[in-house]
């Protein structure tokens, strides 16, 4: 049975999508079977995996509205296959923004994704869900089916403040909707060790959250930022870059963590 993880942080632009696609590629590289779900109407994880969101026939939107199954809507990307780090993709585009409204009157609407994944979870080791920068119905659907949340964060002053809201939401979902849910870990991303404040916040994180802070640190690395314009994760775009190596190390850390879960 697959382990399902949401990559979530309601703060925008903190590195959720970069983490999702590179972790997916890193896991594929170390031999894991991975499904990557784009749960953000921006469709960045879809594009960043080499799938053109404008040309999608079926997306996560159809799955949430039960007009398609995951097996029907998922895709493979030629670019990922060529790069030797292939994972399956359940894509999204702006159509997904309408799902929130269309599901308003539906019973158990927060469990749509969970139900849909039951049919495929034997086929994967990992299912990774890229969440939008909000604590919306879409994010809730992700949290309802996940075993854990991976929280990417930049080591900046306001990062800790935003974390309180996320931790509270996760506690509520845990109490009311999904007993399996836990924060698997906080991932320090876009890290620049030359900046004293970042080192200080990093130390604070370790003091407050202890072993919940992943050992792997993702450095600020321009190759990771360049990769999406080529429609591939950094792990595929430039495997020898510091950023790519960090994500492969993170994939290995995740494999070890789930063995001890």
Instruction: Break the chain down into helix, strand, coil percent, rounded to 5.
Output: 50, 15, 35
Total of residues contacting Mg ion (CB under 5 A): 3
53 binds Mg ion (CB under 5 A): no
Q: DSSP characters for 153-174?
A: E--STTHHHHHHHHHHHHHHHH
Closest separation between CB of residue 132 and Mg ion, Å? 7
Helix H or strand E segment including 52: none
Q: Which of 3, 6, 15, 17 binds Mg ion (CB under 5 A)?
A: 17
Give the span between the Cα atoms of 76 and 78, in whole angstroms: 7
36-55 residues in contact with ligand ATP (CB under 6 A) are: 40, 42, 44
Binding string, residues 75-94; x marks residues near Mg ion by CB under 5 A: --------------------
221 binds ligand ATP (CB under 6 A): yes
Give the span between the Cα atoms of 28 and 84, in whole angstroms: 8
Nearer to ligand ATP, 2 or 187 (CB): 187
Token pair for 230: 């080529």
Closest separation between CB of residue 59 and ligand ATP, Å? 17
User: Contact at 8 Å (CB) between 152 and 19?
Assistant: yes
Binding partner of residue 79 among Mg ion, ligand ATP, none, CB cut-off 5 to 8 Å per kind = none
**Which residues fall within 8 angstroms of residue 74, CB to CB, at 6 or more apart?**
35, 88, 89, 90, 120
Binding partner of residue 142 among ligand ATP, Mg ion, none, CB cut-off 5 to 8 Å per kind = none
Query: Which positions lie near ligand ATP, rule CB under 6 A?
Result: 12-18, 40, 42, 44, 133, 189-190, 218, 220-221, 224-225, 228, 243
């Amino acid at each position: 049975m697959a382990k399902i993880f949401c990559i979530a942080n309601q703060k925008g632009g903190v590195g959720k999508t970069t983490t999702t696609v590179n972790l997916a590629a890193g896991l594929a590289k170390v031999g894991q079977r991975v499904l990557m779900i784009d749960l953000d109407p921006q469709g960045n994880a879809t594009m960043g995996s080499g799938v053109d969101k404008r040309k999608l026939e079926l997306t996560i939107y159809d799955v949430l509205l039960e007009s398609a199954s995951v097996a029907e809507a998922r895709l493979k990307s030629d670019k990922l296959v060529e790069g030797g780090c292939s994972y399956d993709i359940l894509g999204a585009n702006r159509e997904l923004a309408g799902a929130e409204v269309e599901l308003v009157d539906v019973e158990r609407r927060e469990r749509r994704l969970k139900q849909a994944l039951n049919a495929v979870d034997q086929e994967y080791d990992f299912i990774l869900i890229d969440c939008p920068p909000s604590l919306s119905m879409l994010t809730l659907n992700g949290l309802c089916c996940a075993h854990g949340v991976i929280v990417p964060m930049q080591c900046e002053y306001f990062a800790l403040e935003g974390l309180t809201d996320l931790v509270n939401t996760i506690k509520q979902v845990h109490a009311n909707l999904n007993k399996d849910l836990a924060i698997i870990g906080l991932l320090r991303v876009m890290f620049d060790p030359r900046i004293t404040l970042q080192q200080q916040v990093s130390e604070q994180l370790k003091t407050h959250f202890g072993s919940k802070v992943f050992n792997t640190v993702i450095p600020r690395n321009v190759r990771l930022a360049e990769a999406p314009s080529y429609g591939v994760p950094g792990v595929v775009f430039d495997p020898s870059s510091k950023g790519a190596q960090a994500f492969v190390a993170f994939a290995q850390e995740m494999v070890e963590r789930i063995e001890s879960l």
